[in-house]
Amino acid sequence: MKDPNCLFCKIIDGQIPSAKVYEDGSVFAFRDINPQAPVHVLVVPKEHISCALELNGDNSAVAAKCFEAVAKIARSEGLESGFRVINNCGEDGGQSVMHLHFHLIGGRKLSEKII
Ligand code: 5GP
Ligand code: ZN
């Protein structure tokens, strides 16, 4: 299900270009436009789910699919030595695009602190 006003739905649909790194039936992944590390990929479910608060027993399979994609992308990007996955949720969590997404960040030694 798509939200016509959602930036990431438009990227998934190809209406807005992106640097795609992975796609399957339920997941789309592309490079962040403002990378915070040598590898910074956004892994998103194709289904429009606004944030992690909206996950429930009916739709949580897509979150598992996202993490399966994370493992594949981490290997294809050469991140076997480690990486970080971040989900920002809501205003206090710093979420700026209201379509559930996981930041896959790596390619250098990351800070031990995440806040
Ligand atoms: P959030 O702050 O919601 O957790 O993460 C949103 C991310 O989307 C940010 O890291 C931002 O750089 C990225 N972003 C915003 N607009 C675009 C865009 O048009 N294309 C791509 N590839 N990334 C975007
Ligand atoms: Zn969306």
Q: Please name which ligand lies nearest the alpha carbon of 8.
A: 2
What phi, psi does 53 have (nearest 5°)?
Answer: -65, -20
pLDDT band at 2 (very low <50, low <70, confident <90, very high): confident
19: left (phi over 0), alpha (psi -120 to 50) or beta: beta
Percent of the chain with pLDDT over 70: 98
pLDDT tens digit string along 4-35? 899 999 999 999 999 999 999 999 999 999 99
Q: What pLDDT score was predicted for residue 6?
A: 98
Q: Is the CB of 91 under 6 A from ligand 1?
A: no
- CA torsion angle 13 18 22 26 (round to 10): -30
Domain boundaries defined on the chain: 7-106
Q: Please name which ligand lies nearest the alpha carbon of 3.
A: 2
> Is 103 in the active site?
no
Model pTM? 0.97
Options 3.30.428.10, 3.30.70.20, 1.10.1740.10, 3.50.50.60; which CATH number does 7-106 get?
A: 3.30.428.10
Q: How far is it, in rounded angstroms, from Cα 49 to Cα 111?
A: 30
